[in-house]
Amino acid sequence: MSPPGPRIAMAVLGKDLLLDLRTRERLGHMAVFAALVVVLLGLTLPTSRAARSDWIPALLWIVFLFTSLLGLSRSFQAETEEGAVAMLIQAPCDRGWVFLGKAAANLIALFGIQLWTALLFGIFLDVDWGPALPAALGVAFLGAAGLSALGSLLSAMSMFVRFRDFLFPILLFPLVLPLLVFASRMTATALEGGAISGLAWSALALYDWIFGCIGYFVFDYVLED
Amino acid sequence: MIEVRDLEKQYGNVLALRGISLEIPTGTAALVSGPNGAGKSTLLRILAGLTRPTRGRVAIDGTDPFGKGAAARRGRVGFVGQELALYGELTVEENLRFCAQLHGLDAAQTGGEFDPLRDLDLAPVARRRVQTLSQGYRRRASIARALLTRPEVLLLDEPWNGLDAEATRHLARLIAREREQGHTVVVAAHAVAEHAHLFNRVIQLEAGRLAGDGSASAEPE
């Protein structure tokens, strides 16, 4: 009898979180990379808050994108070592749930790194998150969800490819562009104290939903040799 | 019953399998032998549903591993490939627990009479990470993972690689037990002579073609 899909997703999520916490390799690399870039930005950008405020939202999302790239490109590393992906392929279930479990684990990791990046922006670039925090957190979560869905799918697609480190960003960047544009503009609105339009929220949520659905439905074929 | 009809598999310009047709009745213990590149591993990976054939048809108890209804039957086929299919950073116990979760099994269904940790003498290393184990224990852990679902068809690719004498005896007992229980066992291996007594059928492959098929006691045709 096939186990229920949500149980499969939870098992994959639990396994990935355990691996992330145990090795600390993926999270550690992302956290250090984000810290280094933000420190460099802090040293090179104009010192006055007014002069650099226009750049902050775009820089935040670009730092976040490159940091995420480090983690997402390795999200199937454990599966390729020792052929552990066979365990997932042989599970008697709809493999879309395996994808959702992987994407959820990536979402948690990316959202955590996003909070860390926002904290670094507060410390080194003097960004005042105070009143913008609830809206900025919402944008961060939806942005992380979209990146997780797309990144998990592309990472799985490039899992068996020889030049995967090169291929992954080539595939990711064009597809992530709409998310990057929406998320940075929404973050800018939040930081300016304005109200983010319902249309913008819907667009970001739609992006997440589209790539979540694509991943769910095509993962079965992606996993095959 | 395993049915294979006109099976072909092409990797780029290389034809790994060239029109293989055979039937393996339920309860058979078959040894697939042949030199490197004969197509043994490819045949087993196709039977396990891991590699899609280029042409031809495969059915296990009437179900195509790549067709409709295949998902529900995946747990009936256990596969141990040349790679371990285990997470090196997880312990043996954690790997088996995760595999059990993927197959919807609870602790009660994976212990007792069919406890793979006990059957393969893995209890002393159950809480050690797989990557810290010797090659022999890793191989045993991989076999335990494949047995966890109590498969009706067990596919083993070069299972003796890296096993010491004691582990080899464990594996021999395990294959014999599977036969006694009426399960089908298909093993791909180079070395035929030392393990031939475990099997009642030997299938020989050469350059992706069926070169012989006979009982283990007689020379293959």
Using pLDDT thresholds of 50, 70 and 90, give the confidence band for residue A209: very high
State the complex-level ipTM.
0.87
Question: Quick check: is B154 in a domain?
Answer: yes
Mean pLDDT of chain B: 86
Q: Within an 8 Å CB–CB cutoff, is residue B86 touching chain A?
A: yes
DSSP A152-175: HHHHHHTTT-TTHHHHHHHHHHHH
Please indicate, yes or no, if residue B221 is contained in any of the structural domains.
Answer: no
- Please check whether residue B189 lies inside any domain of the structure: yes
pLDDT tens string B72-107: 777 788 999 888 899 999 999 999 999 999 988 876
How far apart CA A129 and CA A187 sit, in angstroms, is 10
Q: In what order do the strands lie in the sheet with B184-189?
A: B77-80, B153-157, B184-189, B29-33, B201-206, B209-214
User: In CATH, what number is assigned to the domain containing residue B55?
Assistant: 3.40.50.300
Does B98 touch chain A if contact means CB atoms closer than 8 Å?
yes
Q: Is the pLDDT of residue B217 over 60?
A: no
CB contact under 8 A, B81 and A86: yes
What is the distance in angstroms between the Cα of A208 and the nearest Cα belonging to chain B?
26
State yes or no: pLDDT of B218 exceeds 50. no
The band of A82, judged by pLDDT with boundaries at 50, 70 and 90, is confident
**Residue B220 included in any domain:** no
Q: Is B101 on the interface with A (CB under 8 A)?
A: yes
Nearest-CA residue of chain B relative to A87? B85
Residues of A in contact with B85 (CB under 8 A): 82-87
Are residues B71 and A18, on separate chains, in Cβ contact within 8 Å? no
Length of chain B: 221
Residue B112: pLDDT over 60 = no
| pLDDT at residue B216, rounded to an integer | 63
Mean pLDDT, rounded, for A51-77: 90
Work out how many CB contacts closer than 8 A connect A with B: 94
The arithmetic mean of pLDDT across residues A3-26, rounded, is: 91
Q: What is the mean pLDDT of residues B104-126?
A: 73
Determine contact, residues A196/A100, Cβ cutoff 8 Å.
no
pLDDT 10s digits, A152-189: 999 999 888 878 788 899 999 999 999 999 999 999 99
Range of the domain at B71: 2-214
Q: Is there a domain that residue B135 lies in?
A: yes
The pLDDT value recorded for residue B221 is 41
Residue B131 in any domain: the answer is yes
Residue B160 has pLDDT above 70, yes or no: yes
User: Has residue B219 been placed in a domain?
Assistant: no
Tokens of B64: 């195509």
Partners of A82 on chain B (C-beta within 8 Å) are: 83-88, 130
Domain count of chain B? 1
Query: Is A19–B89 a contact, with Cβ atoms under 8 angstroms apart?
Result: yes
Q: In chain A, whose CA is at the least distance from the CA of B87?
A: A84
A22 vs B contacts (CB less than 8 Å): 89
Element (H, E) at B191: none
Burial of A10: CB neighbours in 10 Å, binned 0-12, 13-18, 19+ = middle
The whole-angstrom separation of Cα B105 and Cα B148 is: 9
Nearest to A92 among B45, B94, B103 (CB): B103
* Mean pLDDT value across residues B22-50: 91
Per-residue model confidence as pLDDT tens digits over B122-136? 889 999 999 999 888
Q: Which of A17-21, A102-106, B21-25, B73-77 has the lowest mean pLDDT?
A: B73-77
pLDDT score, position B113: 53
Q: Are strands B29-33 and B184-189 parallel, antiparallel or unpaired?
A: parallel
pLDDT tens for B187-216 read 998 866 777 788 888 999 998 898 888 776
Q: Is B87 an interface residue toward A (CB < 8 Å)?
A: yes
A87–B104: do the CB atoms touch at under 8 Å? no
